Structures are given as C-alpha cells and as structure tokens.
Amino acid sequence: MQLMPPAARPACWALYAAFSYADDLIDSGEGTPEERGRRLQEWRDALEADLTSGTSEDPIRLALTDAVWHWGLDLRDLLGALDAVQRDDDRKGVATWQEWRERAHAQNLSWPEQLMRMLVRCGLPVPVRLRDLPGFTRFVEGLYLTDTLRDLVDDLDGEDLWIPAEVLDRFQVTPAELRSRQWTPAVQQLIAHLAGQAREWLENSRRALRDTLPLGPSIVLDTAVELFGAELDALVRAGSAVLHRQVRVPRHIEWRILGPARARAAVVWRLTLPPGRDTVTDTARTVAARRTDAASPTGAAAGDRLGGPEPLGSRIAEPPLPPRPHRDGVRPPTIAAAHLPQHVAIVMDGNGRWATGLGLPRDEGHRAGAMALRDVVQGALEIGLPHLTVYAFSTENWKRSPDEVSKLFAIMRAELLDGELLDHDVRLRWVGSPDGLPDDVADVLRGQEHATRNRAGLTLNICVNYGGRAELTQAGAALARAALAGEIDPARVSEQLFAAHLPHHALPDVDLLWRTSGEIRTSNFLPWHAHYAELHFTDQPWPEVDRRDLWEAIEAYTHRKRRKGAASVQASVPARNEGE
C-alpha cells in the first residue's frame, strides 16, 4: 500500500478491505459454514447491485464501488475472486499441489492486476494481464504459501487445513498430528520444506519478472519478496511457536525493508508518472463511463471497458470526452482554421537518450515518451488539428536489441488498449507494414483502428513498422503489376496515379514535419507525403515535450512563407503565411 502512488492508495485500501471482509467472514467460525456461506453470498450480491448503481449504504462496499468506478477496475474478475473465496466453504482442504494452485490463483490473481490497472490510469503504461507474465503466478504462489504458513495456527484451530494432503503424506504427517501441535521431527521437516518452497518460488519469480516490469511496479514486487522473505525467516526462527501463535516480523526489520523502498518508490513515481491528473477530467470520465454502463443490465460492463482479454475497442468512451486541459491551465493560441496546418508529422526522437541520461533503462524512456504523446494529442485536439502522424517504430528500428523492441511493443500495446486517446475524439490509423510485426501488436492496431473509425475530431496516424522507401517500393510494384495486367498504361503514370498506389494513399500531404532531440534528418519518414513539408527541429528529447511545444511549432509554421516554387505565395495559401 505504502509503495503505490499516493493517488492510488485509497483504492488499494478499498480492495484490501473488501477482500479481508470476505476472507474474515469465511474464516470467522461464527455460525455454521452454511450460514457463513449465505452471508457472504448476500454481501456479494449486494456488492454487485451497488457496483451497478454506483453507490452503497455499506462503507466497505461504498469504498470498493468508488474504486471500481474511479479507476475502471475489472469488476467481473474481482467478483470472480470473491466467488473463489466463497467456494472454500464447500470444501475441506486440498488434495494436491495442483488443486492448491488452482485455489490460490482463483482467489488471488485478480487483486494485483487491479493495481496495475490503477497504474495505467495514473499514466504509466504497464502490462495489466500479470497472469500472462512468466513468473507472476509463481510469485502469487510464493505469497500464498507464506500466508498459509502464517495462518497455520488459525487453520489448526478451525476445520480446514490448506496444506495439500500430498505433501503431508510425503512427510508422513497426519492432520491430527499437526492439530496436536507436537513439534515432531516430521512436522519440523514439513514446515522447513514449505518455507523453503515458498522462498524458492518468490526468488524465482523475482528473477523472472525483473526485466519485464517497469521500475515502479518492480520496486513493489521486490519489496513484497523481501517482506515475505523476512516473514519466512521469522517463521523458521520461531520453531515450534508456529504451531501456537501467529509469528510476526519484528517491526525494525519491516522498517529496514520498507523505509528505503518507500523513498525509492516515491522518487520513481515522481519521475515516471505524469503530474497529478486533472480531477475535473476524472469526474467527466467517471460520468461518461456511468452513462455508457447504465445501458447494461449487469455490472459486467464496467469490467468490459478496459480491454484486457475482452474484445478490442470495448473501452471506447461514447460520446468522447472533451480534451483534457493542460495541468497548468495553459490554453492553445487562437489560430484561425484556415491558417492551421492540416497535417503535422512528428519524429518522436530522443526517448533512449533521455532515459540513459537519468540512469534509467531505455524502455523507461519509451514509457515516458508515450506520456508525452498523450499530452501532444490533447494539444492537437484543443487547437483543432485535423491530422497528426507520429513515427513510433521504423523498419530500421528492428536493428535494436530484441529486448528493447519487445518492451517498446508492450508499451505500445498497453497504450493502445488502455491509453487516454480512447476517451477522446481521436480516430486512430495505422501506417506501416504487418510484415514481421508480432500478431498481438498488429491485432491491437487493427482493432483500435476499427473501434475508432467513426470518430471525427483528430486523425492520429501511428507509423509502426513504417519505412518510406518500402512504401515507395510497394507503390512501384503495385503499378508494375497493374501495367502487366493491362489495367494501366505506363505512359500515363502520373503523380496522382502513383499516389493512388501507395499503401496508405488516403494520407494527406504533410504541412509541417517536426523532429525532436536535436537530430536534423528525416530517417526514412514519409518521403512522398512530406515532400514539401515545412521542417521544424527542436533540441529537447521527446519525453520532455508537451502540447505547448506542438503549439509553438504550429505558431512558427503560420509565419512560414510557403511558395511551393512560385515567385510569391500563391493565392490559395492563407494570408498569414505571407509573413504577417
């Protein structure tokens, strides 16, 4: 809780409260198991109704409802986790590790994924489907086994024992023997084995996940591994006491782990999260979401809004929200539509150098770059730009390390699935080739292209696996094929006909081409469409850019004289370009 970004903590507490409430109810020992099961079922039904209506009489349910609405949490998955807790009442322990694992996953995987959703909402593009990351289920198993050992004393008092029967058999320990709380050599070996197993799972998962998660979430993960490791140390040190009382990690050890981790997390969140989200927009987002979901007969719709395994594009806000204001309240310059460029193209360069300069890995630069693009898109909407094209991945970028490339695609996917552009009036178009691109990236690009096809505000062309020469070559090949087939006369190949054979022939000519980070080249970007573009180069790396830089570039453009080969500016070009 203390390691999460402050804005997300109340919702983390709400999740914790709801889960603890359900867990305590089942474990309470009050009444018969049937009565407890019925009470949990009633509570869960009431929660489902509250989540649909958006409010609640009960403080815990109200907190959870608020968290779900505010952060767009996956309601279906959360209710599924509660149902799994409830199923505990129908069974008496587990026979095999396989069963134990299924129970652990069903009850526990949803919660950490909700935290990731919050991070995405805070502006950090992180993978939400943690269960798909290699090592993550092991991590949850490590936590859960530690938890089972910590709660052993309660379980011995109650009816259920959650250590798999197969491992009891292996160590020749009977449940009755455990319940008698005798510290026999067999029991000692069993406990030592389980503690060792939990530690191994935690450590292995930490190694597997280290390179997959961005810095913030990996601090949370690392610290959890250390805290649970300390708990295992305490359990092992306690010896026979584990059968008689709950063992706690000494406070000073807890603080030795948590103190520096909190300081590190605070710095990392400050560096990697965009500054405080605008509360007005958040409210608007919630209102829009409620409006969309009101049409749905079940609470499941709130979960549907957020991508993940659901159909692509299901999170599209309808109607789209107005642009999110700049955090400092700055407004765009007033420029008449006739003076605006119709099409701005950007080489978003310098992510890697920005990150390296801060001692961060390159992918942190791409993450920060995604945030910069969010702001620039808001600025484009505010100023009324019709077309924005951004260079996100060139055909030359395959020369980078597979690690950087796969992280870049993961960031791109997360951003496309759950980024804020889905909330606004943005139509997404993919420019580039599917050749060699991972299917999941191509699918999400196509999916969001389709989902946003009716938007009319800003067309955002995203160049992924794009190369200018490849594009021209394709047009040449298409023309040659058509000529061979007798469909066109080679003598009549005009510029218009050539353009019509470009793979992305609907892309308008670029008026203004802007590159950040001090490089003065176009790097195979839009050679056909940008043939007469005004060029604009700035020094700051892309992650430091925000919408004001776009507005400055556009302002500067309005003062350019676009003669296009004529002796003076042509009549069709607006007067402002005459050099007011």
Residues 517-536 that bind ligand IPE (CB under 6 A): 517, 519, 521, 523
We find the least distance from the C-beta atom of residue 103 to ligand IPE, in angstroms, to be: 42
> Does residue number 349 form part of the binding site for ligand IPE (CB under 6 A)?
yes
393 binds, among Mg ion, ligand IPE, none (CB under 5 to 8 A by kind): ligand IPE
Q: Which is nearer to ligand IPE, 225 or 445 (CB)?
A: 445
- Applying CB under 6 A, among 188, 397, 406, 474 the residue interacting with ligand IPE is 397
> Does residue number 430 form part of the binding site for ligand IPE (CB under 6 A)?
no
Which token pair is 382?
């505010």
Other residues' Cβ atoms within 10 Å of the Cβ of residue 117: 23
We find the least distance from the C-beta atom of residue 389 to ligand IPE, in angstroms, to be: 12
Cα–Cα distances in angstroms (integers) from residue 489 to residues 474, 483, 492, 501, in the given order: 18, 6, 5, 14
Binding mask 501-520 for ligand IPE (x = CB under 6 A): ----------------x-x-
We find the least distance from the C-beta atom of residue 405 to Mg ion, in angstroms, to be: 14
Residues linked to residue 347 through DSSP beta bridges, in sequence order: 391, 515
Measured at the alpha carbon of residue 297, what is the angle toward residues 23 and 78, in degrees to the nearest 5?
A: 25
> Does residue number 352 form part of the binding site for ligand IPE (CB under 6 A)?
yes
389 binds, among Mg ion, ligand IPE, none (CB under 5 to 8 A by kind): none
Task: Determine the Cα–Cα distance for residues 390 and 467; give it in Å rounded to an integer.
Answer: 13
Grouping H, G, I as helix, E, B as strand and the rest as coil, residue 204 is helix
- Residues noted as catalytic: 349, 397
Which token pair is 434?
């599917």
Other residues' Cβ atoms within 10 Å of the Cβ of residue 331: 10
- Applying CB under 5 A, among 222, 349, 471, 549 the residue interacting with Mg ion is 349
Other residues' Cβ atoms within 10 Å of the Cβ of residue 536: 19
> Does residue number 409 form part of the binding site for ligand IPE (CB under 6 A)?
no
Contact 16, 1 (CB under 8 A): yes
Name the DSSP class of 347. Answer: E
Residue with tokens 């069993």: 190
Task: Determine the Cα–Cα distance for residues 327 and 319; give it in Å rounded to an integer.
Answer: 23
Name the closest residue to ligand IPE (Cβ). 352
Task: Determine the Cα–Cα distance for residues 188 and 142; give it in Å rounded to an integer.
Answer: 20
Name the DSSP class of 517. Answer: T
Contact 84, 106 (CB under 8 A): yes
We find the least distance from the C-beta atom of residue 526 to ligand IPE, in angstroms, to be: 11
> Does residue number 350 form part of the binding site for ligand IPE (CB under 6 A)?
yes
Q: Which is nearer to ligand IPE, 15 or 408 (CB)?
A: 408
Stretch that binds Mg ion, among 192-200, 344-352, 492-500, 525-533 (CB under 5 A): 344-352
Residues 365-394 that bind ligand IPE (CB under 6 A): 391-394
Q: Which is nearer to ligand IPE, 293 or 363 (CB)?
A: 363
We find the least distance from the C-beta atom of residue 363 to ligand IPE, in angstroms, to be: 9
Residues that bind Mg ion (CB under 5 A): 349
